[in-house]
Amino acid sequence: MKRRGFLLNSAVIVLLIPLLLLLATYEDVSSSIIKAQSERTQFERTYDVINFLNLEFQKALELSGKRAVVAAVDYVAVTGNFISPTYKANNTIRDFMKTGTSPSTEGYDTLRVMGKQTMKTWLSNVSKLLNEQGFTISPSVDDIVKSMDIEVALLDAFTVVIKARIPKIRIMDSSRTVVYDGPLPSNGGYIYATVDIRDLEDPFFSAITGGRYHRSIRSCKFAFPTLGIRPITFANASGTGSGYYIGRFGQEFNYNLTHIWSSEFSVTNFTIGGTPVTTDAIVLKDGDLGVVMFNTTSNNGGSSGGISGWCSSLRYRFNITIKNNGPQLTDFQIPIYLDSSHLTSDVLNKLFNTADADGDNIPILAVYDQNCNPVSFWVETWNTQSMQALLWVKVTIPQYSQITLEIYFDSQGTETKGDPYTVFDFYEDFENWKGWNQYNHGSVQQSSDVAYTGRYSLRKDEYNDPNGGYKLIGKNMGRDIILEGYVYRPKKWEGGPVDRIGLEDDNFNGYSISIRHSKDDIWIDKRIKGIPTIISSRKYWNPPEDDWYFFRMIIKQSDLILEVYNKNTWNRYELGAVPDASVSVSDTTYNTFDRVVIHGGYVYYVDSLRIRKYSPNTPTLEYSSTVENKPQSSSSSPTPSSSSTAHVYDIQPLKDCLEGMRYFAIEDGWSFFERLEGTNTNHDEYVNVSYTIQNQMGYSRRPIGLVSFMIPQTTYDPKLVSLMVSLGIGLEDNQTSTDYYFMLHYFKNAPKKEGYKVIGISNDMNFYIDPQTAQEILGTEGTCDLLEGYTCP
């Protein structure tokens, strides 16, 4: 029995072993499945959390960005204070987004507008929500907000763009397992959000007028003229007529597909850009206001003599190509040397023997670009006997591009040296004493004792540093600028031994040069409320006495350089010329300057002061080797019965936008940020940042400047008329209607900006436009044709 029992038990065990193995295998597989399911669930949960944060981050940026933009407008419009251009409007908006406040608006309750729409509040809410789901976020909300990388810029004139990321965020579950550790967005890039500023109040007007005039930013239907979307149509044509005609299509002007005519003229053969078109490409709708202009009269002064490509009545020209080797240069001053080192003997002899045939060292010159736009220039020196001259021009050159200037000259015409005041950001030769103020107990005065140029210079007298005098520049200047000029100290000076000249702000904070005659050394000072502190090393230099020397102070983005030269160093205006001595120092304390200040000892004299722009990428010049002669043209004038060329315009969209106080996007206009700051000091910087972000987002280049126009006429803007009457402000002829020029001139006593009436528009509207703005909105042909009395270059 025992043996049988053993056999039975053994059999049972043998049969159970596969079952036990199967059970073990099943348990192992089940464990693996459960684990995989758990991991999958964890992965899906993690994915959901990260995806949730990415989406919420995007939404939060949009909401916070909109509130922050409104808060910036509210601050300027309500307080009448502009945002500091030193701190910048885009940085202020960034601050609002992060926490709802900014040091640039200290004392104003911006949280009243921001409410709970800040990134800090969003992070707090997200943290609470994830806590409820068993997750925790680190580091702290405050630390994440501080680390948040937010850049606020302009995508175009009507759109603010916000580029943002959180460099690092860690999420853990309830078991302290790290669910995510990385940036937001999780792809490591940036999230972009945009804010449309259309229909927001333009803060510029409220601040300028103390809250008595308001205007909303509403775009013209043809808002981007520089992109080819102009508020006029234009076509070439041929026909019979003379002068110009204004009328409405379908009323004063009859038209069909091939002709436009009235009782006084008829035109046909329409082309746009050389392509034949019918009138439906010109006339936008029946009843539109139009202008038909024949070339038998020259509204632009006829300066070209009817010869295509020749911009002046002067008979000779040679060309200079200027290459820009870096970012865009705007209103940039460039010295051009006219001598045997730069010109061929043929060009040199023809230029000096012709342009100054009477030998009085005042040439007959004109300078144009290739589009026949006049270029501001100044002849600083001209010596016909030695055949040497120095010519300054002010030009704008796109980044990594080039322009060609055409130098016209003749033996007959008007002698001129140009105008340094239109070339430099600041120029003073002291021939007309105006705008200088005494500082503390100092004395600065016009003097005929000595002069570097002309008859007069500035004499610094009485009381030592910081006493002296100053003159306002007329605008705020940022960094990347140069202050340079000439100084004369007599051997028998009476007071302190240091010549000190600088650039400062309205609190007399800034930088100045120091040239010490007693110990023969130079250095750079930082000024704090006018009081100097030496910030550079001292360098030996024995300055001349009873003679002039030349100095240059360069204020770069983070550095300052002082260079001194002998007055006769031939290339002293070139950056990179070897100075007699120089010192440099790194300092970024001050970034805005609005006055030139004369400090130091006495007596010494200053002359030919100027401020110009600095670029680390010096443009290069190429001179043509030949002189071109003006082509011959027919002297006969077509009669109204003969066929002649004509230009046809539909100007109704322009009239509609002007009447509706609509805005245009242009390159040189004041951007939304500049309108928050009340100055265009930071224009170039905002443009460069915008172009960078446009490239990153795959957008074509778009202008960020804004412009609208002021029509001081009861029919169009009764509020503006009422305000000006109440303040006793009288209108002046030919003051441009461009909004920032108009408002600054009439309400802040800024210099007048000359404008011209527009044919077809100004007949029943008090409207003027300056040529620079007209060029961007109307184009070259429109500017030359439609600006009444304007001499087209």
pLDDT in tens, 596-616: 999 999 999 999 999 999 999
- Which of helix, strand or coil describes residue 330? strand
pLDDT of residue 160: 97
- Which of helix, strand or coil describes residue 541? coil
Report the chain's C-alpha Rg in angstroms. Answer: 35
> First and final CA of the chain: distance in angstroms?
131
Q: What's the rounded mean pLDDT across residues 62-86?
A: 96
pLDDT of residue 687: 95
For 28, residues 6+ apart whose C-beta sits below 8 A from its C-beta are none
Q: Which fold has domain 316-423?
A: Immunoglobulin-like (2.60.40)
pLDDT of residue 12: 52
**CA separation for the pair 117, 119 (Å, rounded):** 7
The structure tokens 């670009």 sit at 369
641: pLDDT confidence band, cut at 50, 70 and 90?
very low
Give the strand pairing for 548-555 and 559-566: antiparallel
- H/E/C letters for each residue in 417-434? CECHHHHCCEEECCCCCC
The token duo for 336 is: 């051009």
Lowest mean pLDDT among 169-178, 205-214, 735-744: 169-178
| Of 30 and 98, the one with more pLDDT | 98
Sign of CA dihedral 585, 590, 595, 599: negative
- Inform me whether the pLDDT recorded for 640 exceeds 50: no
Q: What's the rounded mean pLDDT across residues 309-323?
A: 88
- Inform me whether the pLDDT recorded for 535 exceeds 60: yes
- Inform me whether the pLDDT recorded for 31 exceeds 70: no
pLDDT of residue 187: 87
33: pLDDT confidence band, cut at 50, 70 and 90?
very low
pLDDT of residue 237: 94
| Of 1 and 786, the one with more pLDDT | 786
| DSSP H or E segment with residue 91 | helix 89-99
* CB-CB contact of 156 with 664 (8 Å): no
Sign of CA dihedral 389, 395, 398, 403: negative
pLDDT-above-90 percentage for the chain: 73
Contacts 24+ apart (CB under 8 A), 36-45: 42/179, 45/179
The b/e string for 592-631 (b: 16+ C-beta within 10 A; e otherwise) is bbbbbbbbbbbbbbbbbbbbbbbbeeebeeebbeebeebe
Judge residue 685's burial from the number of C-beta atoms within 10 Å of its C-beta, 0-12 exposed, 13-18 middle, 19 or more buried.
middle
**CA separation for the pair 517, 24 (Å, rounded):** 101
733: pLDDT confidence band, cut at 50, 70 and 90?
confident
Residue-wise DSSP of 130-169: HHHTT-EEES-HHHHHHH-EEEEEEEETTEEEEEEEEEEE
**CA separation for the pair 679, 475 (Å, rounded):** 8
| Of 154 and 793, the one with more pLDDT | 154
Considering the chain, what is the average pLDDT of its residues?
89
pLDDT in tens, 376-396: 999 999 999 999 999 999 998
The token duo for 709 is: 């126009």
- Inform me whether the pLDDT recorded for 290 exceeds 50: yes
- Inform me whether the pLDDT recorded for 309 exceeds 70: no
Among 42, 44, 306, CA closest to 173: 42
**CA separation for the pair 366, 393 (Å, rounded):** 11
Highest mean pLDDT among 32-36, 421-425, 561-565: 561-565
Neighbour tally for 429: CB within 10 Å:
20
**CA separation for the pair 376, 353 (Å, rounded):** 23
pLDDT-above-70 percentage for the chain: 91
For 624, residues 6+ apart whose C-beta sits below 8 A from its C-beta are 318, 319, 320, 321, 347
Return the domain boundaries, the chain: 42-200, 233-306, 316-423, 426-613
| Max intra-chain CA distance, the chain | 149
Q: What's the rounded mean pLDDT across residues 272-293?
A: 93
The token duo for 778 is: 């109307």
pLDDT of residue 52: 80
pLDDT in tens, 753-784: 999 999 999 988 889 999 999 999 999 999 99
**CA separation for the pair 298, 305 (Å, rounded):** 10
- Does a cis peptide bond (omega within 30 degrees of 0) precede residue 185? yes
Q: Which fold has domain 426-613?
A: Jelly Rolls (2.60.120)
Judge residue 15's burial from the number of C-beta atoms within 10 Å of its C-beta, 0-12 exposed, 13-18 middle, 19 or more buried.
exposed
14: pLDDT confidence band, cut at 50, 70 and 90?
low
**CA separation for the pair 231, 650 (Å, rounded):** 9
Phi/psi at 657 (5° precision): -70, -35
Q: What's the rounded mean pLDDT across residues 52-73?
A: 92
**CA separation (Å) from 152 to 105, 418, 454, 608, 673?**
17, 41, 49, 41, 10
- Does a cis peptide bond (omega within 30 degrees of 0) precede residue 466? yes
For 490, residues 6+ apart whose C-beta sits below 8 A from its C-beta are 545, 546, 603, 604
8: pLDDT confidence band, cut at 50, 70 and 90?
very low
For 283, residues 6+ apart whose C-beta sits below 8 A from its C-beta are 233, 249, 255, 260, 290, 650
Q: What's the rounded mean pLDDT across residues 122-151?
A: 91
**CA separation for the pair 786, 772 (Å, rounded):** 14
- Inform me whether the pLDDT recorded for 5 exceeds 80: no
> Are 316-423 and 426-613 in the same CATH fold?
no
Q: What's the rounded mean pLDDT across residues 722-732?
A: 90
Local structure of residue 687 (DSSP, 8 states):
H
For 714, residues 6+ apart whose C-beta sits below 8 A from its C-beta are 721
**CA separation (Å) from 772 to 64, 418, 669, 756?**
37, 19, 10, 11
Q: What's the rounded mean pLDDT across residues 328-354?
A: 94
Amino acid at 205: F
* CB-CB contact of 141 with 123 (8 Å): yes
The token duo for 264 is: 């006084």
pLDDT of residue 636: 35
* CB-CB contact of 724 with 710 (8 Å): no
For 266, residues 6+ apart whose C-beta sits below 8 A from its C-beta are 239, 240, 241, 259, 260
The token duo for 601 is: 């000892």
pLDDT of residue 154: 97
Sign of CA dihedral 529, 534, 535, 540: positive
